[in-house]
Chain A
Amino acid sequence: MNTLSSVKERLFNGIIKENPTFVMMLGMCPTLAVTTSCINGLGMGLTNTVVLAMSNIIISSLRKIIPDKVRVPAFIVIVASLVTVVQFLLQAYIPSLNDSLGIYIPLIVVNCIILGRAESYASKNPVIPSLFDGIGMGLGFTVGLGLLGAFREIIGYGTIFGYDFLTLINNLIDKISKSPSFNIEPIRIIGLAPGAFFVLAFLVAIQNKVKASKGKKSNDMDKCSGSCTSCKGGCVDE
């Protein structure tokens, strides 16, 4: 019973309380790069979940064997091997996803969520909670990427999962109003590279607003919260 409650707690923690995309703002490079469509976001999120769950299991079971001084290189090698395996599986079974994610799959190695969880959770806790910590965090990341991808796909291209609902709506409007000149156009820029920056900017702004209303300090990436790996890859005291 005790394990069950800790499993639930880990899953809740990963998906809601410490959601990597919306709350912790981790792994921003893939978040911006692959969320051009909902399916890409979900694919990236699930790939990360698999790697995260497996790396947490391995690192947690080896936590007493890996010497403390070389733990980060050891983690990187473990994660890199897993990413290579996963990349092969994707190439074999879901080649379309592999093509659309491209270079961002091997770059999972330097994703700070994975090394961050290895460092802060899996290297200190038993196997079962670590596994569910990985699954929870991964699913939280998947939800975040899926939502952002869906948003950008709907606004930027007028489709969802590749299904063109905008033409449908436009046809409907034409039928009702009988004036064929009126059409809803997608805001293409949201689907392109600049749109990724804009969407993330508004996301952080909303987060700041929520935090301000709760009386917490606002999120500031200059304080090293938004870097690529192990969350220390981008800050210098100026």
Chain B
Amino acid sequence: MSSLLKIALAAALVNNVVLSQFLGLCPFLGVSKKTKTAAGMGMAVIFVITISSALTSLVYNYILAPLDVTYLNTIVFILLIAALVQFVEMALKKFSPALYQALGVYLPLITTNCAVLGIALTNVQKEYGFLTSIVNGLFTAIGFTIAIVILAGIREKMEYNNIPKAFKGTPIVLITAGLMAIAFSGFAGLL
């Protein structure tokens, strides 16, 4: 149990997926203008990453490993994730229109998000089991959500600031992200 807690803390805060591993930078910079959309993106990422960690872990442990074809993991995972996102989108549309309304726009953007594939591969590389993979995926995605919502909050405030002309837009967002990365590196003492 304590090892699961350790993995959860490390995934969400210490090795934050965007701020220290640089995965999923694109939505982090692109969908962080407003807190509301940022939270929506975060929820969609939590949803997809948790399911994909579970699925890739099952496929790896029960199909690829027994057949001794683990070297195919990159190819299999990327196809699985692409298919999964399509499937989740269809299922949501059919069974939960409210949730689809909230997450629908973000789902297609996640297919090719490097964080999803990155976490599936990390789970395999660190030889996590089924439960550990899900915990790692879920908390990594929560870490992503924390980071993107905080960034969106800061950006909303920053609208009214007087920023040097060349730094308007992406550069100041990157500087903000850098300062957040410094703050998050303080969590390293937790473990």
Is residue B61 within 8 Å, beta carbon to beta carbon, of the partner chain? Answer: no
Is residue B102 within 8 Å, beta carbon to beta carbon, of the partner chain? Answer: no
A119 to chain B, nearest CB (A): 12
**Contact yes or no, A226 B26, CB < 8 A:** yes
Is residue A200 within 8 Å, beta carbon to beta carbon, of the partner chain? Answer: yes
The answer to whether residues A196 and B117 also contact, given A201-B171, A220-B169, A235-B109 and a CB cut-off of 8 A, is no
**Contact yes or no, A236 B31, CB < 8 A:** yes
**Contact yes or no, B174 A204, CB < 8 A:** yes
Residue-wise interface mask of A (112-145) relative to B, using a CB-CB cutoff of 8 A (1 in contact, 0 not):
0000000000000000000000000000000000
Residue-wise interface mask of A (69-99) relative to B, using a CB-CB cutoff of 8 A (1 in contact, 0 not):
0000100110011011001100000000000
List A contacts of B177 (CB < 8 A).
197
The answer to whether residues A233 and B170 also contact, given A194-B179, A194-B181, A226-B26 and a CB cut-off of 8 A, is no
Q: How many residues of A contact B (CB 8 A)?
A: 53
List B contacts of A230 (CB < 8 A).
112
The answer to whether residues A238 and B167 also contact, given A84-B71, A193-B19, A197-B178 and a CB cut-off of 8 A, is no
The answer to whether residues A197 and B174 also contact, given A109-B74, A109-B78 and a CB cut-off of 8 A, is yes
Is residue A110 within 8 Å, beta carbon to beta carbon, of the partner chain? Answer: yes
The answer to whether residues A201 and B167 also contact, given A107-B114, A194-B181 and a CB cut-off of 8 A, is yes
**Contact yes or no, A193 B30, CB < 8 A:** no
Interface of B is mostly: helix
Q: In the complex, which residue of chain B has the Cβ closest to the Cβ of A31?
A: B22
**Contact yes or no, B26 A219, CB < 8 A:** no
**Contact yes or no, A234 B30, CB < 8 A:** yes
CA distance A196 to B34 in the complex (A): 24
List A contacts of B170 (CB < 8 A).
201, 204, 219-222, 226
Residue-wise interface mask of A (223-238) relative to B, using a CB-CB cutoff of 8 A (1 in contact, 0 not):
0101111101111101
User: Which A residues fall within an 8 A CB radius of B?
Assistant: 28-29, 32-33, 73, 76-77, 80-81, 83-84, 87-88, 102-103, 106-107, 109-110, 189, 192-198, 200-202, 204-206, 208-209, 212, 218-222, 224, 226-230, 232-236, 238
User: Which B residues fall within an 8 A CB radius of A?
Assistant: 19-31, 33-34, 37, 41, 71-75, 78-79, 82, 105-106, 109, 111-114, 117-118, 121-122, 125, 164-175, 177-179, 181-182, 185
